[in-house]
A = this chain, B = another copy of it.
Amino acid sequence: MSAIDHFWAVVPAGGAGTRLWPLSRSGAPKFLHDLTGTGRSLLQGTWDRLAPLAEDRFLVVTGRAHRAAVLEQLPDADPDQVLAEPSPRDSMAAIGLAAALLERADPEAVMGSFAADHVIPDADAFAEVLRVAVEVARDDWLVTLGIEPTFPSPAFGYIRLGEPLAGRPGAHAVETFVEKPSVRTATDYLATGRYRWNAGMFVVRPTVLLDLLGRWHPEFAAALRRVAADPAALEAGLAQEWEGLPKIALDHAVAEPAADAGRVACVPASFGWDDVGDFDSLATLLDGHHGGDGRDGEEQGSGAARTTVLGAERLVRAIDSSGLVVPAGGRVVAVVGLEDVVVVDTPDALLVTTRARAQDVKRVVADLKESGGEGLT
């Protein structure tokens, strides 16, 4: 797999992953965890996918509290390549900071921004789509990768494709971004064949991104460029400007208005993608890719039922059960007679729920925060 000239990988590493508590914590968020059972964290998996294409052209943007952990997990990264945000200010600030630095570092740069906590098992298919996206981006498009929906999910925003781009096979203009729909609306979207999931993967020339930002948020773009004006004094620049930056997602700040202005292209992608939003989707992900690894309880009655284990299978004793068990506390976990259960064992907290209730895990976190248990969140 050959590198892509002047391609820079930008990896915003943030987000608490509240619905993956108690694995994911504010002190050790989702992207630092091996949720795929591969021995690599989601952050490391993102690095592994991008490094062959970007070589050393890498910028990770993370919170101050997590910079040391990120550097530890990415021993090949130069410390200068891991930027610490003074405080969380949403994706526009994080990605815009990277854009402002890259605009100065490499006038020919094309940056691709990919969240640190998503899973794309097929690196080759990803690379193929990315190569097309980078070429389109060199023509000053804001390019998004549009994931082919596999079911009418109400959990993602959607991209409505317009006409194919002339001279760029595989790429389309984007008509508009649409917010998370109902399942019924999403079903209608899928029937048209014109919609893709918005996975927040953008490929763009840094200057194009900042100039687009400047059309709708001129002071925001100017502040980012002031921060990056003297890379040797980055800390001082951040101290000066960061807290004044708007908290806004890149989608709202740039992508949506730019689509309306006809400046956004999409390269549809059919590779598998998962944002591992909760334990239900984690169970689906592990079942699909590691189905053979799931441990059946020796006395399991039903051949159809299966318990998927993320972690040491020797710790799990499952009888007549199905679902997901994460024995991350080092202790034996016995499950008897529960279908589609979710059991997540950690050294200081335990979660027992069902796949159907996986979204409600965030209520436990809220409850803990309210009642003095925030040390566990």
Contacts and interface: CB of A to CB of B under 8 A. Distances in A.
Interface of A: 21-22, 297-299, 317, 319-320, 329, 331-338, 341, 343, 345-354, 356-357, 360-361, 363-364, 367-368, 371, 373, 376
A319 B363 contact: yes
A337 B357 contact: yes
Q: List the 9 closest A-B pairs by CB distance, nearest first.
A: A337-B357, A336-B353, A334-B364, A332-B349, A333-B350, A335-B352, A334-B351, A336-B357, A336-B360
A356 B337 CA distance: 9
Contacts of A336: 351-354, 357, 360-361, 363-364
A interface secondary structure, majority:
mixed
19 contacts: A22-B334, A297-B367, A317-B367, A319-B360, A320-B357, A329-B350, A332-B373, A334-B349, A334-B351, A334-B352, A334-B353, A334-B364, A336-B361, A336-B363, A337-B353, A338-B352, A341-B352, A343-B352, A345-B350
A367 B337 contact: no
Q: How many copies does the complex hold?
A: 2
Nearest to A297: B367
A335 to B, nearest CB: 5
Contacts of A367: 297-299, 317, 319
A347 B331 contact: yes
Contacts of A333: 349-350, 352
A346 B350 CA distance: 11
A348 B330 CA distance: 8
